[in-house]
Amino acid sequence: MTEREFGFLLFRERVMVRHKAFHDFESFGKSLLTLTPSDAYYSTAYYEHPELEMERKQWLGSDVVFDVDADHIDTPCKETHDMWTCTGCKETRRGKKPAKCLKCGSEKIDEKPWLCDRCLIAAKEEVLKLVEFLSQDFGIKSEEMHVFFSGHRGYHLHLISDSLKKLDDVQRREIVDYVMALGLDPAEQGLYQDLVDNKHPFVVGPDLTDPGWRGRLARGVYQILTEWSENSLVELGFTRGAAAQILKDRDRIKTEWSRKMLWSSLQDKWRINERVWRNIVEKAMSLVALPARIDTVVTTDVHRLIRMPGTLNGKTGLKATTVPLDQLEEFDPFNEPIVFEGTQKVEITEAPQLRLRDQTFGPYVDQTVELPTAAAMLLIAKGVAFPVT
């Protein structure tokens, strides 16, 4: 605690007060009571003098932190619950924020992302995938991995280890590139074309049980062949006849390919060309890599401020909650992070459906309702409701 910098986002001014340092939790608590911030943060970095300006802090190292946010994952539910408002003409619509207002053409658009089970399940799946990468490929111990629900639309994974804290921004970028498969060459992972008797092309590739990216590449292709629909295979580049044959032979493919990947079958039996090969490999890698739009700046920035676990998220009123690694799959982000009890009457302008614990609320349009305080607080924090006294 004494080596970290702390920062606080103030409610009314909406400015960050940072370069704060504390020697004990009592002084930290007093500062919270004095500032009454909407959000509290602390540095991923450790400093000799955390209270000084950046160039005089004397950096001692940083935790490696990953920010896995549903904002950066393309889930279809966003088209139904996310909203945007043009600050010029006040046009409001559902769906992803466009580059320009669809009515007046202004580029000044206020985005209003929502949170739902589907979004946060997608984020959790990426965290589980990331944990697998770090454990199997980098040898990170489970006790060095600490997961926190952010209190909004994602999770933070902190790697707290003396062996990692001195990594610089370039080395952290290498980790990011690896888990996202950036710059990955399939030939370097054992997938290439050879010649039999110097005449007949023969495809060589990795197997499902191979370590690292070799096995992941194989498992991605195996998933495509054993799970994808006929139309999805056609969109990938297979002919309609080849796609139908793959579905017809699916049980046999599952059995034979699980023992050994029959890479040449793709070329010999289904007659795919170089373009389709490239599509298959790219799609296979995207299935097993982390999404390319995960926030990489958080991981590479050795001076980053990150939301402090145990504090409330000002965008929802939910608590940034510690999630034990062995309980991550079962963790419910709409249950454990709730801290407010009682009820509160609110006037709601417009809000999509919301679940908290085992109750579902909304959708609402121009309504005044009495809600559990946790639900009312979330709507108020999202800017779609106002308290009625």
> Which CATH number covers residue 66?
3.90.920.10
pTM: 0.88
Range of the domain at 276: 187-288
Q: Is the Cβ–Cβ distance between 201 and 267 less than 8 Å?
A: yes
Whether residue 145 sits in one domain with residue 108: no
Question: Looking at the predicted structure, is the pLDDT value of residue 300 above 70?
Answer: yes
Q: pLDDT for 58-110, tens place per residue?
A: 999 999 999 999 888 888 888 889 988 898 998 888 888 888 999 999 999 98
Give the ranges where the chain is alpha helix by DSSP (H). Answer: 25-35, 78-81, 117-132, 169-179, 212-227, 230-236, 240-248, 250-259, 263-268, 274-288, 296-300, 373-381
Number of Cβ atoms within 10 Å of the Cβ of 273: 10
Q: Tell me the angle at which helices 250-259 and 240-248 cross, rounded to the nearest 10 degrees.
A: 80
Kindly state whether residues 245 and 319 are assigned to the same domain.
no
Mean pLDDT of the chain: 93
* Alpha helices (runs of H) in 62-147, residue ranges in sequence order: 78-81, 117-132
Q: Is residue 371 part of a domain?
A: yes
Q: Do residue 20 and residue 67 come from a single domain?
A: yes
Residue 169's nearest CA partner among 3, 294, 297 is: 297
Claim to verify: residue 58 and residue 82 sit in the same structural domain: no
Q: Given this model, what pLDDT does residue 138 score?
A: 94
Considering its fold, how many domains does the chain have in total?
Answer: 4
Which pLDDT band holds residue 196 (cuts at 50, 70, 90)?
low
Q: Does residue 300 or residue 269 have the better pLDDT?
A: 300
Q: Are 34 and 158 within one domain?
A: yes
Same domain flag for 26 and 163: yes
Q: pLDDT grade, residue 195 (50/70/90)?
A: low
C-alpha 337/C-alpha 320 separation (Å) is 7
What's the average model confidence in pLDDT over 142-155? Answer: 96
In a domain, 333, yes or no: no
pLDDT, residue 57, reads 97
**DSSP states along 281-324:** HHHHHHHHSPPTTSBHHHHH-TT-EEEPTTSB-TTTS-B-EEE-
CA 186 to chain centroid: 25
Stated as kind and residue range, the H or E segment containing 40 is strand 37-43
φ/ψ bin of 151: left (φ > 0), alpha (ψ from -120 to 50), beta (otherwise): left
Of the ranges 142-151, 193-202, 370-379, which one carries the lowest mean pLDDT score? 193-202
Query: Quick one: pLDDT at residue 29?
Result: 94
Is residue 344 domain-resident? Answer: yes
Residue closest to 210 by CA, chosen among 226, 186, 228: 186
Read off the pLDDT of residues 223-245 as tens digits, 9 standing for 90 and up. 999 999 999 999 999 999 999 99
User: Residue 198 pLDDT > 60, yes or no?
Assistant: no
- CATH number, domain containing residue 352: 3.40.5
Q: Is residue 49 part of a domain?
A: yes
Q: What is the pLDDT of residue 92?
A: 86
User: Can you give the pLDDT at residue 265?
Assistant: 87
| Mean pLDDT of all residues in 161-172 | 96
pLDDT category, 326, cuts 50, 70, 90?
A: very high
Q: Is the pLDDT of residue 113 over 80?
A: yes
Residue where a domain terminates, one of 62, 88, 115: 115
The answer on 304 and 164 residing in a single domain is yes
Please give the Cα distance from 114 to 118 (Å, whole number): 11
Asked if 160 and 62 sit in the same domain, the reply is yes
Locus of tokens 């509290």: 40
Mean pLDDT of 202-220: 93
Alpha carbons 220 and 287: distance in angstroms, whole number: 6
Confidence at 293, pLDDT banded by 50, 70, 90: low
CATH code of the domain in which 268 resides: 1.10.8
Q: Is 136 part of any domain?
A: yes
How far, in Å, CA of 209 to CA of 13, rounded?
Answer: 55
* 40 & 170 share domain: yes
- Strand 45-47 relative to strand 354-356, pairing: unpaired
Same domain as 137, residue 36: yes
Q: Count CB atoms within 10 A of the CB of residue 248.
A: 11
Residue 30 lies in a domain: yes
Evaluate whether residue 379 is within a structural domain.
yes
Please indicate, yes or no, if residue 239 is contained in any of the structural domains: yes
Same domain, 225 and 196: yes
Specify whether the CB–CB gap between 140 and 158 falls below 8 A.
no
Residues 58 and 27 in one domain: yes
